[in-house]
Chains A and B, each alone.
Chain A
Amino acid sequence: AQSVAQPEDQVNVAEGNPLTVKCTYSVSGNPYLFWYVQYPNRGLQFLLKYITGDNLVKGSYGFEAEFNKSQTSFHLKKPSALVSDSALYFCAVRDMNNNAGNMLTFGGGTRLMVKP
């Protein structure tokens, strides 16, 4: 079985400061890892993914995430937060070796609040 944990319900950060949104995962095989963002009254939007290769992945809107296999983590980061980054962020995992289908498992979401 595959699972994702986002330990923080909410992260508060001041505009201009760096931000980190945490994610840990569990899969039996090798993971495909994803981050999505959801703005109010909108659907989830794809931000970035890790498939293989460089552990530091860069995505949309200046976000990046670091894959750490030993810690089974995939934390989302941004060097300088903007008020417009305030949204709900979801981490998701797919087991590359999972023959049960093209299913992503999502974490519970972390609300990011960036204050001016």
Chain B
Amino acid sequence: DAGVIQSPRHEVTEMGQEVTLRCKPISGHDYLFWYRQTMMRGLELLIYFNNNVPIDDSGMPEDRFSAKMPNASFSTLKIQPSEPRDSAVYFCASSRGLEYTGELFFGEGSRLTVL
């Protein structure tokens, strides 16, 4: 398997623009997680899905952030409008179900810079 695939790897945009980050989880994994990593706040869980359904979005910072998972092989994280404080590395991760031990498999991340 190719692992968790994220795109783009790098994104530079201007304040106010819409940003869409994409993720393809590992086939057969039914949990998908979006994390954000910054120097100041470390690794933060934004939202996670189980079987394409959002389970907990309490980590989403505000209404400018939204995430979708239209099918088992694709998820998006959208920021509209983007702000400089959204600059971070955004990671997608997937895992198998609760009956397994739950280790996460991470993508390589999308580094977002908002000017």
Q: Which of chain A's residues has its CB closest to B43's CB?
A: A106
Contact, CB under 8 Å: A43 / B48? no
Contact, CB under 8 Å: B50 / A43? no
**Is A102 interfacial (CB 8 A cutoff)?**
yes
Contact, CB under 8 Å: B48 / A101? yes
Contact, CB under 8 Å: A46 / B103? yes
Interface size class of A (residues with CB under 8 A): 20 to 34
Contact, CB under 8 Å: A109 / B42? yes
How many Cβ-Cβ contacts under 8 Å join chain A to chain B?
A: 55
8 Å CB interface, A19-50 against B? 32, 34, 36, 41-46, 49
A11 to nearest B CB, angstroms?
Answer: 17
Contact mask A97-116 → B, CB, 8 Å, 1/0? Answer: 00011111010110000000
**Is A90 interfacial (CB 8 A cutoff)?**
yes
Choose from B4, B31, B105, B107 the contact partner of A102 (Cβ within 8 Å). B31
Q: What chain B residues lie within 8 Å of A43 (beta carbons)?
A: 4, 91, 93, 106-109
Contact, CB under 8 Å: B104 / A104? yes
**Is B98 interfacial (CB 8 A cutoff)?**
yes
Q: What chain A residues lie within 8 Å of B43 (beta carbons)?
A: 44, 90, 106, 109
Choose from B50, B107, B108, B109 the contact partner of A101 (Cβ within 8 Å). B50
Interface size class of B (residues with CB under 8 A): 20 to 34
Q: What chain A residues lie within 8 Å of B50 (beta carbons)?
A: 101-102
Q: What chain A residues lie within 8 Å of B98 (beta carbons)?
A: 101-102
Choose from A45, A102, A109 the contact partner of B95 (Cβ within 8 Å). A102
**Is A56 interfacial (CB 8 A cutoff)?**
no
Q: Which of chain A's residues has its CB closest to B100's CB?
A: A102
8 Å CB interface, A44-61 against B? 44-46, 49, 51
- Contacts A44-B91, A90-B43, A109-B43 given; indicate if A102 touches B102 (C-beta within 8 A): yes
B residues lining the A interface (CB < 8 Å)? 4, 31, 42-43, 45, 48, 50, 55-56, 91, 93, 95, 97-98, 101-109, 111
A residues lining the B interface (CB < 8 Å)? 32, 34, 36, 41-46, 49, 51, 90, 94, 100-104, 106, 108-109
